């Protein structure tokens, strides 16, 4: 059963090859497809191409399908090509000829594009929520541990004093900056391609401003050709934002793996977040954070996969674009799982509060001693050389006094409230989109 059926059949393997994973992945787009159909149908009614009687029947039919999607009962039947076909066939069964009118002025090209936009918008809202949950855990633990010192490293060599508060809030602020890319992705996603047809508009007098308003889009993708050129660009932009979050979380996961190693012993994961060895009874492996690291690395490769799929395509729609869904749709679950696991692990992680008692960390304080001498009037280079010579000849000792770091961003002044404010400032506002969708389906 195909919307484009013209009375001839295709080879079975050709059909399998061209449909690919659409029937599987399109289930993720079902809710968006119903929303797009509802807005388009209401617009067709407003311009006289669907009667008021048919509008009532189609509205109820779409609400029924929407409810089945939300209950997890919606299926794409065997032999049905994709979600667009399934929704139209159900409407035709329920509403007769009215169901056949709903595709007026539309192509599957703009239908796919609006589905991807609506799906992406909802998925980005969920992703922002997941990022905030991890951010909140990082900030909560940073506040709790802001006075607990740990070694800081450069070149993997002991460098200067740091703190668990500094370490954790550094990643929190990184997530705040990652929101800027999520925000940009959301703004691109939140534009309406519906009505662009196959990429060249329609002779039907469509009201694209109306569908933009009904679907809660911030703006139109005005040029019909460009609306279709956003396919691939949209996925790449969103995946680039996901990759930014993944880069932050993957680096954090690497730290946790390193710091939980017995040679460091800075942190300890709860038993539930470790696995054992089949041969070594003592082992507690940080598999959860190793998998977070690997998944984050894989997520960072996805924008390039989309780029290569789309490279050198001329203007217009091409079947190459179908393959972007196989890369794109699963990425949201993967990053959501990563964020959830990272937040849970960090929330329960044990912290070694007495790391610096070990004599091997005494050189952390050489810069403190240089600065003390400078404060007493010794030129910096002379103070540096004097402390360096004591290190070199093995006579360096630190007196163990308390540290006094006061400038913004130092271990004594982490500016946690400022980081929270930055995060909140960089979040995108999704309330208008959510309100419009609720209004459309009520």
8-state DSSP, 231: H
Q: CA-CA distances (angstroms) from residue 118 to 55, 146, 155, 164, 434? A: 22, 41, 45, 40, 11
Tokens representing 90?
């159900």
Structure tokens at 275: 């696995």
Active site residue 202: no
3-state secondary structure of 76: coil
Rounded to whole angstroms, how far apart are CA atoms 238 and 191? 14
Which string of DSSP letters, residue by residue, matches 240-289?
HHHHHHHHHHHHHHHHHHHHTSTTT-SEE--GGG-B--SS-TT--B-HHH
Q: Contact at 8 Å (CB) between 163 and 150?
A: yes
For residues 441 and 355, what is the distance between their CA atoms, to the nearest angstrom? 57
Exposure string over 90-105, b if 16+ CB within 10 A, otherwise e:
bbbebbeebbebbbeb
Among candidate residues 155, 203, 282, 407, the one labeled active-site is 155
Token code pair at residue 330: 């699963």
Antiparallel, parallel or unpaired: β 157-163 and 149-154: antiparallel
Give just the sign of the alpha carbon dihedral 72, 73, 77, 78: positive
* Helices 108-144 & 431-441 angle (0-180, nearest 10): 130
Q: Which of 280, 323, 331, 261 is nearest to 301 (CA)?
A: 331
Q: Is 277 one of the annotated active-site residues of the chain?
A: yes
- Please, are residues 301 and 327 in contact by the beta-carbon 8 Å criterion? no
d(CA 423, CA 148): 24
Q: Tell me the CB-side half-sphere exposure of residue 199, using CA atoms within 13 A.
A: 12
DSSP 8-state code for residue 376: T
**What torsion, rounded to 10 degrees, do the Cα atoms 214, 216, 221, 225 define?**
-50
Instruction: Please report the DSSP string for 164-175 in residue order.
Output: HHHHHHHHHHHH
Catalytic residues: 155, 277
């Amino acid at each position: 059963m195909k919307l484009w059926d013209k009375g001839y059949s295709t080879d079975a393997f050709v059909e399998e090859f061209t449909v690919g994973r659409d029937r599987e992945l399109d289930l993720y787009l079902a809710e968006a497809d119903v929303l797009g159909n509802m807005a388009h149908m209401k617009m067709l009614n407003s311009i006289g191409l669907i009667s008021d009687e048919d509008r009532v029947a189609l509205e109820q039919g779409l609400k029924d399908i929407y409810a089945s999607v939300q209950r997890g009962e919606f299926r794409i039947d065997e032999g049905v090509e994709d979600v667009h076909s399934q929704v139209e066939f159900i409407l035709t069964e329920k509403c007769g000829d009215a169901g056949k009118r709903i595709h007026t002025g539309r192509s599957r090209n703009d239908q796919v594009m609006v589905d991807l936009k609506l799906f992406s918008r909802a998925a980005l809202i969920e992703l922002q929520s997941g990022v905030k949950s991890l951010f909140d855990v990082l900030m909560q633990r940073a506040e709790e541990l802001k006075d607990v010192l740990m070694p800081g490293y450069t070149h993997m060599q002991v460098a200067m004093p740091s703190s668990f508060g500094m370490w954790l809030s550094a990643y929190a602020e990184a997530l705040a900056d990652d929101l800027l890319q999520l925000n940009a992705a959301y703004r691109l996603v939140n534009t309406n391609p519906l009505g662009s047809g196959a990429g060249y508009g329609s002779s039907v007098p469509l009201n694209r401003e109306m569908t933009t308003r009904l679907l809660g889009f911030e703006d139109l993708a005005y040029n019909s050709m460009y609306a279709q050129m956003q396919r691939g660009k949209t996925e790449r932009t969103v995946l680039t934002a996901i990759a930014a979050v993944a880069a932050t979380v993957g680096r954090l996961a690497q730290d946790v793996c390193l710091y939980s190693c017995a040679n460091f012993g800075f942190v300890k994961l709860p038993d539930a977040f470790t696995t054992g060895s089949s041969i070594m009874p003592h082992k507690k492996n940080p598999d959860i954070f190793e998998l977070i690291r690997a998944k984050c690395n894989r997520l960072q490769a996805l924008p390039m996969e989309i780029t290569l799929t789309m490279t050198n395509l001329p203007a217009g729609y091409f079947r190459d674009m179908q393959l972007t869904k196989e890369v794109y749709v699963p990425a949201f679950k993967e990053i959501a799982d990563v964020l959830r696991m990272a937040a849970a692990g960090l929330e329960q992680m044990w912290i070694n509060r007495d790391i610096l008692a070990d004599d091997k960390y005494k050189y952390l304080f050489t810069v403190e001693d240089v600065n003390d001498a400078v404060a007493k009037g010794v030129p910096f280079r002379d103070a540096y050389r004097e402390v360096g010579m004591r290190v070199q000849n093995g006579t360096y000792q630190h007196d163990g006094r308390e540290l006094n770091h006061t400038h913004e961003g130092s271990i004594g002044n982490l500016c946690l409230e400022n980081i929270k404010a930055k995060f909140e400032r960089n979040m995108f506002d999704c309330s208008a989109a959510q309100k419009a969708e609720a209004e459309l389906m009520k």
